[in-house]
Chain A
Amino acid sequence: MKKILTAVAIALAIGGLTVAHAATTAPSGKAKYAIIFKNTGNPYGEKEMAGFKKAADEVGAEAILKAPDQPTAEAQIQMIGELIAQKVAVIAMVGNDPDALEPALKKAMKAGIKVLSLDSGVNPASRMVHINQADPERIGRVQVQAIAEMIGGSGEIAVLSATSQATNQNLWIEWMKKELAENPKMKNIKLVKVAYGDDLRDKSVAEMEGLLKTYPNLKGVIAPTTVALQPPLVSQPRARC
């Protein structure tokens, strides 16, 4: 019997840990503004979420910052469900997929939550407004112009992006392709491959090494995402934004 009590004690101890943690996050009467970013450990995302918190504090709201440990839509769907249950006032979404979040976000809007997307947008049916922090056309065109300058106007280039569903990066890449097709100065530059490192450091490095091996004549790589700022890639030939 004693041993069973030990077992119960262990179970309660685990419970106790979680209670202790929760004491620091007691709910307040303030309106809750939530943001869901793509994934944790993303330096760009940390900045975006810190800014969100600052702005929420200024208007007297409580900020909820959430990000899944993997950059997947399925994890974000789960988080949207948690936020609906908490009856937040606002969900600001940085989507990992333009379409996969639609059922979950529609449900949030039906529950009276204001849904907006920013940075990496979701499709128009899934949100009320989208806030674009930068002009995709300028980003795409200028990055191609920058790399053209760096490689001297001709040669093979590649793109190392985040996830293949990242709306913002995909839009930028579209504009890069347009710039390559439309600008006569770019006629000697060839985009050989768009690779996806999922914003994960090890995968990005592996993809980068793959690019270097597959395309020995590669002159430049555009990495329009946060991994370009991180050390392992900085040693590689690159253009970053």
Chain B
Amino acid sequence: MELQQPFSLKRFFLQWEWMLVLIFVAVNVINMNLSPYYLDAEGLRDATMSFLDKAFIVLPMVFIIILGDIDISVASIVALASVVMAVSFQAGVPMAAAMVICLLVGTACGFVNGWLIVRFKELSSVIVTLATMIIFRGIAYIILEDQSAGKFPAWFKFLGWGYIGEVPFMLIMFVLAVLFFSWALHKTAFGRRVYSMGNNVTAARFSGINVDGIRILIFTVAGLMSGVTALFLTSRMGSTRPNVATGYELEVITMVVLGGVSTSGGKGRMIGAVIAVFLIGYLRYGLGLINIPAQILLIVIGSLLVAAVLVPNFKWSPRAR
């Protein structure tokens, strides 16, 4: 829990989030210089839609990492939820109901994660979600084998490709989700309990906080948001297979860590992760515009992550304060 300190302009600008804004601006300036096509409202808007699907998982992942936990099963939950939705739609379930099923499957998977982690305290969340990561994707493979399923109704495309006015529908939903999750983390007693659990879970338990309940709830919400990602991703693809969303868990965790959320728990803010989503998204897009090979792109993002882990160690030393 952060101590109440008098407001200081200097400290306000010394936050990691400002550093991210700076890097974000730098990335954009560099991209503009690299490619004459970068600064194009329509191109930028449409590029946003290609990385926003996974951004929905970033929001609950911030909570999980603040708790000092991690969830690497989210991509498998996306695949399973997406596959179950497609299969139930093909079995004659109306599309709207299939979408609800998709969200329910995600939520159920998340609950299983949370329950296992709370029930078997000797196992770390990495181990538990590593196991469920394999199990969930395994189930997806059993259901659909190596086939793809799709042929969704035309209106389902709207989720991933539609606009309201000139704004992508996905972006609007993301902004609403960001507002809700920031509110829950920063403006409620629940959010403060999450921070206190991240700092010292034993102390939190003895202060009367229902630590197990909160953990289960947060992992369940992560499952639900993976279901949301499954909806958007499937809509963009128009069909699904058991191997969709491969590697999403690492991209999501990269965004959260770059956003200044400490993997040792208790530190970090929602806005940082949200800036990081756009930072990585536009960086990828900009480098894609100058047709940099996929592998070099991974190296650039890796370097950025190393910098993100190093820089706060410089900044949060007592002298810098």
Interface, chain A (partner B; CB < 8 A): 1, 3-4, 6-8, 10-12, 14-15, 17-19, 21-22, 25, 27, 40, 64-70, 72-75, 77-79, 81-82, 84-87, 97, 99-100, 102-103, 107, 164-165, 195-196, 198
Contact = CB atoms under 8 A, between A and B. Distances in A.
Nearest to B245: A74
Interface in B278-321: 284-285, 287-296, 298, 300, 303-304, 307, 310-311, 314-315, 317, 319-320
B156 to A, nearest CB: 12
A198 B243 contact: yes
Interface stretch (B31-39, B94-102, B176-184): B31-39
B40 A85 contact: yes
Contact of B300 (A17, A25, A164): A17
B231 to A, nearest CB: 14
A19 B29 CA distance: 11
Q: Name the 5 nearest CB pairs between A and B, nearest first.
A: A85-B43, A69-B294, A82-B288, A3-B314, A196-B146
A85 B46 CA distance: 9
Contact of B27 (A15, A77, A84): A15
B320 A81 contact: no
Given A22-B290, A77-B236, A84 B43 contact: yes
B112 interface: no
Contacts of A85: 37-38, 40, 43, 46-47, 289
A12 B157 CA distance: 40
Given A14-B300, A99-B238, A69 B148 contact: no
A167 B243 CA distance: 17
A85 B43 CA distance: 5
A10 B310 contact: yes
B239 A70 contact: no
B267 interface: no
B167 interface: no
A25 B37 contact: no
Contact of B19 (A7, A25, A27, A107): A7
B138 interface: no
A74 B237 contact: yes
A240 to B, nearest CB: 20
B307 A69 contact: no
Given A85-B289, A100-B150, 10 more contacts: A11-B26, A14-B304, A17-B300, A82-B285, A85-B43, A99-B239, A100-B237, A103-B161, A164-B146, A165-B239
Contacts of A97: 148, 237, 239
Nearest to B238: A100
Contacts of B288: 78-79, 82
A31 to B, nearest CB: 15
